[in-house]
Amino acid sequence: MFSGAMKTILITGATRGLGRAMAEFFASAGHKVIGCGTKADAVAQLGAALGPPHSFAVVNVARDTEVKGWANAVLSEHGAPDFLINNAAVIARNAPLWVVPATEFDRTLDVNVKGTANTIRYFVPAMIARRTGVIVNFSSGWGRSTSPEVAPYCASKFAIEGLTQAFAKELPHGLAAVALNPGIIATDMLRSTFGGEAAGYVTPEQWVKKAGPFILELGPKDNGASVTVPE
C-alpha cells in the first residue's frame, strides 16, 4: 500500500539493532524517518549520519510524559506518521522467573508493553484524524511460544499480541495495527540470551533487506494480523 511515495516513518528504539537498520534502510529508500533512543550520544550520532529531513530525539518510551512531549513536537513539525513502528524493547537476564529481580521484570514490561501503549496514546489520534496509517507493534517468536528463563520477555510479547488484536478492532477503516514477529536476528538482545550461538543468525543489516519492503506493504488489509517477516 505505502511502498510508492515518500512516507513518514516513526521508529522507537532507533539507535541500535533492528531500529537502526530500519532507520538507515527507510532513509536510503527516500522516506522520512523520525526516531528515538535513550542514549544522547547514540541519538546524536544517528542524526548526524542521516541528516535532514530525518529527526531523532532522546526519549524513554516507558515514561508517559516524555512520549507526550515528543509527540507534540513531532506532530507539530512533521504531522502524523504513515507508519508507527513500536520497536523499542529490552530483555531481562536469563533466569528462572522466581530469580528475576523486580526491577528487571518491571523494566521489561514498562518498555515493551507500556512503551507501546504510550506511543499509541499520543500518535494514533492524529493518524485517526487523517484516516490513514499503520501501527506495527514488534512482537517475537516468544510472543507466540515459550522457552525457559525468558518468562518476563514472553509475558511482554504475549501482551503485545493481545494488545494489538484488541486495539485493531478499535481502529476506523483506513488504518491498521499489526503484531510483527521479526524472526531471529543477531542483535545485542539475542546475544544476551543465546550467547555465542547468536552469531549463527542473520545480522540486522541482512534482515532489513526483506523486512523493510515487507513492512512497507502492510496496510488496512492486515489489520489485526499477527505476521512474521519472511526468511
Q: At what angle do helices 64-78 and 115-130 cross, to 10 degrees?
A: 30
How many Cα atoms are found within 13 Å in the side-chain-facing hemisphere of 137?
35
Asked if residue 182 lies in contact with residue 140, where contact means CB atoms within 8 angstroms, the answer is: yes
Q: What would the grid cell of residue 216 be?
A: 512497507
What Rg value do the Cα atoms of the chain yield, rounded? 17
Of 33, 215, 37, 219, which is closest to residue 230 (Cα–Cα)?
215
Q: Is the dihedral of CA 141, 145, 146, 152 positive or negative?
A: positive
122 tagged catalytic: no
Angle, CA 97 vertex, CA 93 and CA 99 arms, to 5°: 70
Active-site residue identified among 25, 122, 153, 207: 153
Which residues are 36's β-sheet partners?
57
H helix count then E strand count, the chain = 8, 7
- The owner of cell 512503551 is 115
Of 152, 157, 156, which is closest to residue 141 (Cα–Cα)?
157
CA distances 59 to 25, 71, 111, Å, are 22, 10, 11
Give the catalytic positions in this structure. Answer: 153
